[in-house]
Structures are given as C-alpha cells and as structure tokens.
Structure 1
Amino acid sequence: MFSNNSQDESYQFISKLPKITIDKSSINFLGDPKRYKEFLLNEIQNAKVRIAIVALYFENDEAGNEIFTALYSAKQKNPALDIVICVDWHRAQRGRIGINNLNKTNADWYLELTEKHTPNEIPVYGIPINTRETLGVLHFKGAIIDDTTLFTGASINNVYLHQEEKYRLDRYHAIYNKPLANSFYQFIFEKMINSKAAQRLDSAQRPKTSSIKKYIKQLRRDLSQSHLTVIEDHSHHVKLDFPVEATPIVGVGAKNTFNQLIESLVAISKKKIIICTPYFNLPPALLKKMRKKLKEGIEIEIIVGDKTANDFYIPVTEPFKAIGSLPYFYELNLKKFMKKYQKFCDKGLLHIHLWKDNDHTFHLKGLWIDDNWMLLTGNNLNPRAWSLDLENGILLHDENQYLAVSKAAELEYIHQHTNRLEHFSHLDEIDDYPYKVKKFIRRLKRVKMDKLINRLL
C-alpha cells in the first residue's frame, strides 16, 4: 500500500484520519470478562435513550439469556428506549462448528423471544457481509449504550462472559463520549441496518440467502467504500485537562482504510511494537513491515495463544474433527516464522509470548506502538481480517501518556499467563501431533490445500 520509504506517508495518512478529543477519565479499562459483563448489565439497566449491540453472535445459553433478560427489563421499564441487536446473518442460522446441530439455532431463539415479548420486541438483524460465511462475516464489534461505547472483540455467550468455570480472554474498554458513540451508532443504522441485505432474524419469514444475493453484493460494495463519520459535539466544548485523541475506524475488503492504518502504525514505530492475536497467520503486507522494523532495530513483541488455548482446540481424549486441526496449523505458522527470524530473537529484538491458563482460551487482539499509540480492535490480524470480514476498531493517541498506568496494568494482566519462547525448536513438530491430526495435515500438505486454508484463516 505504501512505498518502502513510507514513514512520512504513514504519518500523513494517520494525521488525516478524523479524531475525537476525549479526557482520560472517560476511558475505562475493564480488565476481565466478569467485570465487563457486570459493566454491560449495569449500563443496560441505566440506559435512557438507546442501546445498540453488535457482535459476531449472541448465543442461546445462560449468559445470552441473562443479557436478553436485562434488555427486555430495560425496555419494559422504559418503552421509549430504542434497542437493536446486529449479528452475523450466516452464523445465527447454524449451530456451533463441531457441535450437534439438531437443536434450534440462535435465529430460532430470537424468534421465540420476539413472540414472547410482543409488543416490546427487540429487533435482531442479521447482517450478511458476503453470500457465504467462508467469504466474510460481521466482525464489527461493540455496544453503544446512550453515549458510552463498550468495545471488545468478544461475542456474547458463556465462555466470553465467564458465566461458568471457563473463560475466553479478550480486551474490554468503555469510553464515555457522545461523538464517538454517535459515529458508531450512525454507521450501524445507515450502513448496515438500512441496507436491503439486512434481515430480521427474529422473524418467521426469514428469506433464503440466495433470494437476497444481489442486495448482499451491493452491501459489500457500499461497506468497502464507507467510512465512519465523526461529528464533534461543540455544545459542551470545554478544555480537557488530560486529552487523548480517539479515531474510530472501519474496513472491509482488500486495501481498506483499516488495513492501511495498521500498516501505518507499524511503519511509524520508533521503539517498540506489541501485537496480540489468537490465530497466528499474519498477512504478508504486515509481515513485510515488521521485517523492515526488525532490521532497523525496532523491538517487536508478539503475544499469541498456545495451541491448547485456541477456541478450536479439541483435547486428544475427544473424537477428532477436521476443525480441530486449526490450532496446529497456527502453531506451524508460528514455528516457521520463528525459525526464519530466530536471529532477531537471539538479539533480543523479537519476543514471542505464548498465553496459556489451564483450559481457558485466548481471543485477545490489538496493537501497542511505542508509548503513545494503542489500537482497540477485534481484528485478528490475519488474511481473513485483511480481505474478507467487516472489521472495526478505535485508535487511541496518547501523546502525553496520560493512560500509561492503565496501559501498563492491562499488559501486566495479559502477561501473567504467558511464557516467552526462546527458540523455535521449543514448539512442536508435525511428528509430535496426535496421529489423526498429523495424518490430516500431511494429507492437506500433499495436495497443497494448506496454502488455501491459510488464505481463509
């Protein structure tokens, strides 16, 4: 996207993006999934004007039911309260991968809830980002409750909200700022819900995907050309004591603005880059930028989940399913990467940290650039995010490091269950994998299907 000598271009690109000035006191680092859930429920209970929740999926389980119960309670208390939910169209109409799909889908559950709570219904829209789930999903995340933006890469179910024993670690932030909330809220309605491709999932007359194919293609074209509109609120403009700049960002398709932003952030780094991703499969364009930075002597730290902390991991005690091979593919990618750049590990420039906490899982994403840039996002930093899925995020520019204490606390919380890999040989080989996993991966490699899989992961 940029020339090799791109640092100046990158600064110019970032400087032209819209920015919202927010006081540091309005940015809340929530830390862990239980605290995030409590905060979400409290915000729902106290909502006065609007609630919009967007997630990949909203699961029919204990946590999902608790959130829906809170939403209906808020609606009953305040019938004028506008509430809307958006989830991925395809994901809502199938069962979980690898799980017996004889039970009702999430879409069936939404219909039951609407029929039960009429007339105080809460519309649930399915947003199809492409005609097939494998070609793109709604990976736009967050909740707008009045003037608060709750941002996390987590969806809504038991493990994401730590409802029971297991949790899936993500990042969780709440930002109180009207222009920021408005920018996301406006995008949700104008660019997604108002599209002819958006369909009510809580309806008995859900159309077949094939019947709305042309609308889906149009939606994808529109989204690929869309940007978040920022309208500053000057009615209550006051000078802030601890200003932090926030840039809301969105992108879908190759060469989108969000991809350019991520590449630009890496390009402008002068000291250190920290990257978190649960699925190690970095896009070539990002790898190229990182390689250049390592050669310049810039320190890079990558935090990634251990293969057993991957949400697709299947214990060897359970029956093998093809989807369970994915964590091993990610580990092979990581091993290949480390082997190629081992000399930078030896020099203390490249640090690879594996996250593992018993049988909990890791779903955490984001970037920290030097001491003053931080990207909140659900973007997995992989080929899917780069070209297929609809992604969003919030870039925080903390030039005076007002958020330094909160940032350090968040990273310390993430690091507490990580171990640094000193050498690529510490990662398993294919021969070390369970027999059925090893057999499956080798079969795919023989017909070169592993390369195709990496492009879709």
Structure 2
Amino acid sequence: MISLKFKQIKCQQYLINLPKVFQSVSDINILYSTKDFKKILLKKISQAKSIIYITALYLEKDDGGKKIMHALYAAKKANHFLDIKIFVDWHRAQRGYIGSNTKLTNAEWYCKLSRLYPNINISIFGVPINTREALGVFHLKGFIFDDVLIYTGASINNVYLHMYDKYRYDRYLLIKNIQLTTIMKQFIDNILLKSNAINLLNVSNRPKTIKLKSLIKKFRFNLKNTSYNFLNNATNNVLSITPFIGLGKKNNLNNLIINLIGSTKNNIIICTPYFNFPSILVKIITKLLYNGKKVEIIVGDKTANDFYILPEKKFKIISILPYLYEMNLRFFVKKLQFFIDKKQLIIRIWKCNDNTYHLKGIWVDDSWQLITGNNLNPRAWKLDLENAILIHDPKKELDNQKCYELKCIRTYTNIINHYNELDDIHIYPIKIKKIIRRIRRIRLDKIINQIL
C-alpha cells in the first residue's frame, strides 16, 4: 500500500512539474457532435486570414472531402496571401480504401484538383512515418486557423463530417490560443517541412516510396527525439494546456499517459474505440482497482467499429478485427469481474444504430483531461506518430462543458454487468470463428494485436 501511494504521488508530481500554457476559459469550447464539427470547420476555413494548416490521417475523395477542399480553394482564391498546407499519411493517400473497388487514390484526386484550380496553390504533403503503412502511420491531429486550433481524432470524409445518414463519433475541442497554434505550427515547419522524406502529393511526379527508404528511416529516427518546444507561462492554480507529441515506445506522450492514469486519486474515465490496451496500461488500471479507485471505460461495440461488416455481406479478412477487440474486452471483464460486481469498474459499450465510434480520451478526477488521436493500443504506443492536448483545470472552470460532453458520450451506451453479456467466439459467424481459431492456434492473434 505504501509503495502504491508513493507511485501515485510521483505521478502527481510529474503532472505538476509539466510546462504549461495559460488558457482563458472563454477561449476554449468543447463541440458535442459531428455536425457541430463540420459547421465550425467550414466557418473557420472561410474566416482564416493568414494560416490554415491541417494535419490528419487522411482527407478522403468523397463528398465530405470535396466539400472541404472546395472550401479551401475558395478561401485561397479570396485571399491570395492565405498560407494553406495539408498533411496526411503518405501511404494511406496512395492506396484505395480497404474494401473499396475504386482505383482512384486520394493522391490522384489531389492532382485532379490542382489541375482544376491551376492558379491557386494549396500544398498537400504526404508524411511517411515508416517505409510501410503497417509499420507506422502519420496520426498527428489538429487543424490550425491563425490563432485557433480545432483538435479532434477525426480525419476528413463523409462519416466524420456526418454528410448523410451515417456518422463517426469523435471528440472535438476548439481552442483560441496564439501560443498553442504557434507551437504546433513551428513543429510542422521545423521538423516536417525540413525533411526530404516529406513530398507533395498533389503533383504527378511523386517519388516512389522505395527511393525514399533511407530518408524515411532517418526521418523516423529524428522524430523519436522530438517534442513540442515552448516556455512555461502558467502556474498550477490556473486553467492551462500542454501539447504532447510522441513516436516509439519510450516517448513523452506515452510517459504522460502512464503518469496521468497513475496519478488517479479517486476516479478515472477512459474512452477508446478499439479495446486493445498496451500491457502496461492494463497493469496500472488493475492496480488502481485494487487500490480502491473507480474506473470507467467507454468502448465501442463491435458493430460500431469501422471495420465491422454485416455477416450477410461479402466477407473480408479485415472484418475479424472487431471480433478480436471484443474477445480482448471479454477476457479483461472476466478477469476483473469482482470489481464490476462492486460497481467499482464500469464498462460502457457505445452503440447507435449503424454509426461508428472513434472517441479517445482520459479524464482524471476533476482536474485533468486528455484529448488525443491516440487509440491507447500497442500500435499507437510503438508505431504511429501521435499527439495530444492535456488540460489542467484546477478551478473546475470547464466542469459544465466536461460534464455535458460525458453526458453526450454516455447517451448511447449500455453498462456491462457480467462478461457473459459480451458475445463469445462460439456464436460468431462461421467464417470469423474459423479464422480466429486458426490464428489463435499459431498464436498469430498476439502479433495482430501489436500492429492493429
């Protein structure tokens, strides 16, 4: 018990010693829906005066992507001095969507747009985090509009923007803070744009990935030693924010997450779309429970996973993933059923018709919250370039917004009271069952959990 208390104090001290950026409470707003996100995104594009920097995993060639791109070109046409730069994953942009029959890639579509607007220059860069997509992707998040940051785990396509009937639910934070946007822009300018591994996607003469191999390896090595650089200008008694970035197992963001969870005094809430925690997080969460802390985990139902395919639809191998995540969750719940019975561990499953769930974040006690694109899984922990915004709110100035956001998140959730409420492999579709048993027999499931 003394050892656990000491570790908790050490984690709390880590958070207290972090550099922080002062944040006015009137300049921070939480958005609560996909439609709010689309509305404010289009508004900020039209209002930007000097800078628009967009970083996302992808900007899709569907109606949602087209709406954003045409809005960007209109903004640039209206203001020739507007600096618009878009950064997406190099590999993802040059392949089709998994399961799609279309041969036109996002990169080829970007080229078509450049020809459609020949006198309007918008730069779209591909960022390769590793030589292959399976070994790491560009998962940096954040849309910068002058002194305003929209931070979300969302990328840009139909479902993230709720263009039609279906939506993909995420978190959205609107922050007005010139120091924060300067910090994030400087990282892009000084680290990303100065690397020869980064290349334009909206040009026809893109280099082949194989020719960039050595540059990509050097770029990845350099990224492992980078961070957001800034001076502390806030005390621990005021509302403040701290941006984090990380790549590789031992990085600043991973260290933050470990200390943030470990600092819990009373209760913690965790959102993740794919239940596949790194082993170290499972260990810390289990210790919290044994130490009397209250833990709530909100995770998407397997049918709310973007890889889920209805059993009657054409089978694709990628469709086993939601089932693997559910198996992970069932094992976790079964192992900790004692704490569920005590109402100390609360597991909520999000499901809303055939919409999908993409929320990530951590709320600790009443003082700290983290919004991130990090899925809190082994892939994010080791392979992908991730970032996050940590909020310290010692006076509970954001309490109303925080509580309403959590209320919205919980609206379409059901509490799991027993592990038997989660489907077992015996009732999975026959093809899913056969493949999972085959990969478990050769222990391939453990490898899959590390890279997906």
Asked if TM exceeds 0.5, the reply is yes
* Contact 2:302 2:325 (C-alpha < 8 Å) held by counterparts: yes
Is 1:73 equivalent to 2:70 in the alignment?
A: no
Partner Cα distance (2:136, 2:422) in 1: 31
Contact 2:125 2:201 survives alignment (8 Å): yes
Q: Which residue of 1 aligns with 2:286?
A: 291
Gaps of 5+ in 2: none
Q: Report deviation, 1:18.
A: 2.1
CA shift at 1:119, angstroms?
A: 2.5
Q: Distance in 1 between matches of 2:414 and 2:424?
A: 19
Deviation at 1:5, TM superposition (A): 4.3
Instruction: Please give the secondary structure, in 2, of the residue aligned with 1:28.
Output: strand
Matched, 1:302 2:287: no
- Counterpart of 1:118 in structure 2 is 118
Alignment partners' CA distance in 2, 1:8 and 1:210: 48
Equivalence for 2:51: 50
Residue of structure 1 in register with 2:423 after alignment: 428
3-state SS of the aligned residue for 1:68?
helix
What residue identity is the alignment partner of 2:52? Answer: I
- Mapping 1:272-291, distance limit 5 Å: 272-291=267-286
| 3-state DSSP of counterpart to 1:98 | coil
Structure 2: distance between partners of 1:8 and 1:243:
21
Which of 312, 316, 323 is the matching residue for 1:321? 316
Instruction: State the secondary structure of the residue aligned to 1:6.
Output: helix
Partner of 1:236: none
CA apart distance, 1:298: 0.3
Partner residue of 1:437 out of 429, 432, 452: 432
1:118 CA displacement = 2.2
Listed as ranges, the matches of 1:21-40 within 5 Å are 21-40=22-41
Q: Paired residue for 2:376?
A: 381
Q: CA deviation at 1:362?
A: 0.3
Instruction: Tell whether the 8 Å contact from 1:183 to 1:231 is kept in structure 2 after alignment.
Output: no
Aligned residue type for 2:421: H
> Is the deviation greater in 222-231 or in 371-380?
222-231
> Across the two proteins, how many residue pairs are aligned to each other?
449
1:270 matched residue in structure 2: 265
Counterpart for residue 205 of structure 1: 205
Shift in Å, 1:15: 2.9
- Alpha carbons 2:274, 2:325 under 8 Å: kept: yes
Alpha-carbon shift at residue 6 of structure 1 (Å): 2.3
Unaligned runs of 5+ in 1: 234-238
The one-letter code sitting in structure 1 at the alignment partner of 2:384 is: D
TM-aligned CA deviation for residue 3 of structure 1: 9.4
Deviation at 1:191, TM superposition (A): 1.2
- For 1:290 and 1:370, how far apart are their aligned partners in 2? 14
Q: CA deviation at 1:231?
A: 5.0
Tell me the residue number matched to 2:407. 412
What amino acid is aligned across from residue 421 of structure 1 in structure 2? I
Query: Is the aligned partner of 1:12 residue 2:7?
Result: no
Q: Deviations over 1:20-57 (max 9, x none)?
A: 01011111111101111110100110100100000000
Shift, 1:114, TM fit = 1.3
SS in 1 for 2:70: helix
String of CA shifts for 1:53-76, please: whole Å, max 9, x gaps. Answer: 000000001111110111111101
**1:103 CA drift (Å):** 2.2
2:451 pairs with one of 432, 438, 456: 456
Are the equivalent residues in 2 in contact too, given 1:23–1:243 (CA < 8 A)?
A: no
Take 2:183 and 2:149, find their aligned partners in 1: how far apart are those partners? Answer: 10
Per-residue deviation, 1:411: 0.2
1:29-428 aligned at under 5 Å gives the runs 29-100=30-101, 102-230=102-230, 243-428=238-423
The TM-score, its normalising length taken from structure 1, stands at 0.96
Distance 1:35 1:165 in 2: 15
TM-score, structure 2 length as denominator? 0.97
CA distance in 2, matches of 1:127, 1:143: 16
Preserved CA contact (<8 Å) 1:294 1:300: yes
RMSD between aligned residues: 1.6
Distance in 1, Cα, partners of 2:391 & 2:32: 17
Offset, 1:372:
0.9
Question: SS of the residue aligned with 2:54?
Answer: strand
Q: Percent identity?
A: 49
Over 3 Å counting, the alpha-carbon distance change for 1:363 and 1:79 in structure 2 is same
Distance 2:67 2:379 in 1: 31
In 2, Cα distance between equivalents of 1:162 and 1:32: 9
Q: Counterparts of 1:115 and 1:145 in 2: how far apart (Å)?
A: 25
